[in-house]
Amino acid sequence: MAFEVTRVYREHFPALRFIGLRYTNADRFEGGFGKQWGEWEQQDRFGALKKAIAASPYDETGIGLMIFGGAEEFTYWIGLFFPAGTQAPDGFDYYDFPESDIGIGWVYGNEENGEIYGGPPHEAVCARLGESGMGSFRNDLAGVDGGDVYCFFERYNCPRFTHKDAAGNVTLDYGAYIFS
């Protein structure tokens, strides 16, 4: 079975600070960032991050954040969304986001064979968001110099992703910062 986009909808996020670690294409291992996710799990970096910050995360689920454009063509971050202005602990970086609408697409498929990751699911979610009137992706985020900047993210560690259904499939939430 190939992946399927089963749902799209709009969420509204307040201004947020994403706190985590930033990776580039040079950090990819076998085409992706699974190695880094494994390190986060093995070293309980999510727990350490939550423990080091007095504020509660906006969302408890681990986030894979993708930033396209600007001075660096592509960066991939792993971390959590926190309230705006939250102090990042030593060893972690941050990226600030304004209040914004978010287009969310649910990508259903087999996580183990990788079909829910990469270009094809990204393009399918973007197309479905466009068909639903949510295809105006923000390109003005965080005031980054060097051109248009687009931000997308994947939500991990939520029940749709961590619990396989009877067919052995999961649902990955895929989000895009959009203009209202």
pLDDT tens sequence across 12-41: 999 999 999 999 999 998 888 999 999 999
d(CA 48, CA 58): 16
The label of the residue with tokens 């990469």 reads 118
Residues 6+ apart with CB under 8 A from 49: 19, 20, 79, 80, 89, 92
Percent of the chain with pLDDT over 70: 94
d(CA 105, CA 138): 16
Confidence tier at 9 by pLDDT (50, 70, 90): very high
Q: What is the pLDDT of residues 110-138, one digit of tens each?
A: 999 999 999 999 999 999 999 999 989 99
d(CA 67, CA 126): 15
